[in-house]
Amino acid sequence: MHRILSLLLIAALTACAAAPNRQTAVASPDSATTTPAAAAPEGAAPRDSREWEPTVQAWEAEDARVRRMPGAVVFVGSSSIRYWTTLSEDFPGVISINRGYGSSRAYDSVYYADRIVNAYQPRAVVFYAGENDLNEGRSPQQVRDDFAAFVQRVQAGTPKARIGFVSIKPSPSRRSILPQVVQANVLIRDYIKTVQGVDYLDVFTPMLDASGEPREELFLADRLHMNRTGYAIWIKVVGPWLAKP
């Protein structure tokens, strides 16, 4: 409990950070650069989002079938989405489109939003990214700003879609960045309060034990990716949100 209170204190101090820049432009998928938020990093220099071009092109090759599915839900983000291979079983009756790509960052989803989200005109979007960003040295504020840019891009292209941000999880292998994870989650939660059609889906809290440490039993041997028990927590959080009209 003492550790949780310490983390929350750090998060409360961070919550005073400046709000995201609503005027930030977003690079088109055809641009030679990544998003402006990624182009001027406070932390580590981001990698080029175009490294995912072959993956996105492969998805587009399959889209003739997928695009004819109205009312779909797009799951987008990093490896926690990519490895969520039981979406149709976990959310029966939901047309799920998995657009997760391992090691991706939040700004990658901004870069490809038109092609991997808006192309399907989904009724909802489940977003998980930011953990890799923090691990690579980007700041919680940058992750918040990149998610805000993602929201702007999706709402511009698919204005009726609801967006759910799955909070950044506490991975045991990344215990050293847990304070930054808490800060990013708080900043994004506060940002979400200022926009319509976006919800914060808290998986972080139930993935901690009573002492505020990541629950090892929720993860595979690499202590980064989740096992079925870990995904069960996500299902309990995301399922009721998807069930809302």
Residue 167 DSSP symbol: P
| Residue 130 pLDDT class (50, 70, 90 cuts) | very high
Q: Are 85 and 91 in contact (CB under 8 A)?
A: no
- Whether 10 shows a pLDDT value over 60: the answer reads no
| 110-127 confidence digits (pLDDT tens) | 999 999 999 999 999 999
Residues 6+ apart with CB under 8 A from 165: 127, 128, 147, 188, 192, 198, 199, 200, 201
- Whether 232 shows a pLDDT value over 90: the answer reads yes
Rounded to the nearest 5°, which phi and psi values hold at 195?
A: -125, 155
| Residue 63 pLDDT class (50, 70, 90 cuts) | confident
This prediction's pTM:
0.79
Q: Which two tokens stand for residue 12?
A: 């409360």
Q: Are 205 and 57 in contact (CB under 8 A)?
A: no
For 165-172, what is the mean pLDDT? 98
What confidence score (pLDDT) does residue 31 get?
A: 35
Q: Which of 6-10, 51-55, 94-98, 175-179 has the lowest mean pLDDT?
A: 6-10
Q: Which of 22-36, 145-159, 199-213 has the lowest mean pLDDT?
A: 22-36
What confidence score (pLDDT) does residue 78 get?
A: 96
CA dist., res. 125 & res. 69, Å (int): 15
Mean pLDDT over the full length of the chain: 85
Q: Which of 167, 171, 86 is nearest to 126 (CA)?
A: 167
- Whether 212 shows a pLDDT value over 80: the answer reads yes
Task: For Cα atoms 124, 126, 127, give the angle at the middle one, nearest 5 degrees.
Answer: 135
Distances (CA, A) of 161 to 73, 117, 151, 220: 9, 10, 10, 33
Percentage of the chain surpassing pLDDT 70?
79
Q: Are 218 and 233 in contact (CB under 8 A)?
A: yes
Q: Which of 63-72, 74-83, 169-178 has the lowest mean pLDDT?
A: 63-72
Measured over all CA atoms, what is the biggest interatomic distance in the chain, rounded to whole angstroms?
Answer: 53
For 133-161, what is the mean pLDDT? 97
3-state secondary structure of 122: coil
Q: Which of 43, 9, 56, 6 is nearest to 136 (CA)?
A: 43
Q: Which of 51, 58, 99 is nearest to 79 (CA)?
A: 99
Q: Are 137 and 119 in contact (CB under 8 A)?
A: no
What confidence score (pLDDT) does residue 102 get?
A: 83
| Residue 70 pLDDT class (50, 70, 90 cuts) | confident
For 223-233, what is the mean pLDDT? 98
Q: Which of 105, 115, 123 is nearest to 163 (CA)?
A: 123
